[in-house]
Amino acid sequence: MNSSFLQDLDPTTSSIEYLCTTAEKLVEENRHFDAVLSLEVIEHVEDPTEFCKSLSALTVPGGALVISTPNRTVKSHAAVIVAAEYLLRWLPVGTHDWTKFITPEELTLVLQRNSISVQEIAGFVNNPMTGQWFISDDTTINYIVFGTKSNDAKNEDPAL
């Protein structure tokens, strides 16, 4: 590979557009993306179903959607809320509401209803001794979903 090709892949010098906004605002602006990432967000929104509709509306047909979130299990409550918020103070107390956590099955169903076909689900696991995170088959605490939007789906206003 030549160095100019590698430079084009460098996010600090490439033409990637980074935006700090809401999914709903981007839908209002009629924006569409080849890939939409929502990492550790859905557990904080008021209406996850409407949020997923917005994410789908932002994803072009054939595009990718990636969502990561804690699972709603006893184990995730212990790890995310009790340990991370109260014991280790990694996060401010009250950051998470366990009742807003969504299971992989629930998320898959919501995405399917919005023209997103879930291709893969994997767990995120933290090694507390090293502080490193890695992908795992264990989805009981955190997980990530990769899906693609149906090629015959249209980018419509999710409010319709």
Model pTM score: 0.83
d(CA 127, CA 123): 13
d(CA 145, CA 51): 15
Please provide the size of the chain in residues: 160
Assigned domain for 21 exists: no
Mean pLDDT, range 58-87, rounded to an integer: 96
160 has pLDDT over 60: no
12 or 134, higher pLDDT: 134
14 or 55, higher pLDDT: 55
- In sign, the C-alpha dihedral spanning 107, 45, 115, 18 is negative
**How many domains in the chain?**
1
pLDDT at 153: 65
Assigned domain for 132 exists: yes
5 has pLDDT over 50: no
Q: Which domain holds residue 112?
A: 31-149
4 has pLDDT over 80: no
Pairing mode of beta strands 59-70, 33-39 = parallel
How does DSSP assign 90-148, residue by residue? SS-TTS--GGG---HHHHHHHHHTTTEEEEEEEEEEEETTTTEEEEES--SSEEEEEEE
Assigned domain for 24 exists: no
pLDDT at 131: 81
Assigned domain for 104 exists: yes
CATH number at residue 41: 3.40.50.150
Provide the pLDDT confidence category of residue 10 given band limits of 50, 70 and 90: low
Q: Nearest CA to 44 among 82, 92, 10, 88? A: 92
119 or 19, higher pLDDT: 119
- Answer yes or no: are the C-beta atoms of 96 and 43 closer than 8 Å: yes
2 has pLDDT over 60: no
